[in-house]
Structure formats: C-alpha cells, structure tokens
Amino acid sequence: MIIENKIDQLFSGNVIFAGYLFLLPGAYGIYNNDFSTGGIIFGSIIILASCFVIFTSEHVKIDTEKKQVKRYCKLFGFIKNGKWENLDQFRGVTLIPIRKVEGMASMSNRTTSSVKKDYRIFLVNRAKKPAFAIKRCLSKEKAQNSLDEFSIWLKLPVFSPKIN
C-alpha cells in the first residue's frame, strides 16, 4: 500500500501572503513595458519566485510493501525532490503536539500574533528521538486514530514522547 501525506507548506503564512502580493507587480512588469524583453524577464523572475513561495510544500510517501519512506519537497507544486529511505532504520512512531506562533509588528509597535495547533505523527529513530513527521492532523482524536493505523501498517511500536 502507498501512503502519501502533505505535511506542511515550506514557507509560513506571512511569506506566502507576500508571494501572492508579488504576483501582481510581476504581471504588471510584463504588461506595462509593452512586452519588451527586459519587462518579460523581470516580470517572469518575480512571478516565478512568487509561485515557488506559494506552491512549494513538504510531503511524505510511504510504501508499506517495500518498507520504504520518502521525504520530499514538491517544488512549484509538481516537481518532487527527495530520496527513499528504508523503514528498518526506525524504531517506531510517536504523536507530538505542534504549536506554531506567527507574529507581526506594525510601524506603531503593535504586535499581532496567531497560534496554530496541530498534531503530527513522527517516525522514531534508533536514538529514540523523533526523526520526521509522516502525517499532520488537526484534532487529537484523529491523530490518535492515525497513530494506531500507522503502527499497524508499518508494524512498528508506539512510543510516548518524554515531555520535560
């Protein structure tokens, strides 16, 4: 069975927002210069950089029959870049809550922050440390069910993390 999961965007919310904002100046640079060579090159570079920021994401692909896992980045949303690893080098799976805080300060020194919580299932390496995420869930119940499924599919034990 092949399991494929999107883990996260490569860039965070503020950077992705900036990527969307730069799409318009890129298109304007091409159009405003009457499609001249310099305008096309300049606008295309800006649009290409924006598309990279907006569409690049992290993924994981697991082949349970071959006992292999592949971490990869999907560049521009369609170019897969990664290599296969053997699942035998991992001891088990674990569930870790993730809390991301993104903040931004205005020119009047007011800060705005947003908190995003999710739960990620990680493969555990030989040193009993989380190696990398193989699934992201938004609720604890869904994550617990997915953890049990991965333990069965991969034939690996479940480890509980040590929280200091």
Structure tokens at 53: 């920021």
Alpha-carbon distance 74 to 72, whole Å? 6
Query: At 130, which amino acid appears?
Result: P
Task: Please tell me the distance from the alpha carbon of residue 95 to that of residue 98, in angstroms, as a whole number.
Answer: 10
Residues 98 and 141 in one domain: yes
Q: Is residue 164 situated within a structural domain?
A: no
Shared-domain flag, residues 74 and 153 = yes
Instruction: Indicate whether 50 and 88 sit together in one domain.
Output: no
Asked if the model's pLDDT at residue 162 lies above 80, the reply is no
**Together in a domain, 149 and 70:** yes
Residue 122 located in a structural domain: yes
The reply to whether 134 and 79 lie within a common domain is: yes
Instruction: Read off the pLDDT band of 40 (50, 70, 90).
Output: confident
Please give the model's pTM, rounded to 2 decimal places. Answer: 0.80
Task: Give the tens place of pLDDT for each residue, 128-147.
Answer: 889 999 999 999 999 999 99
Task: Please state the domain count of the chain.
Answer: 2
Domain holding 36, by residue range, is 14-54
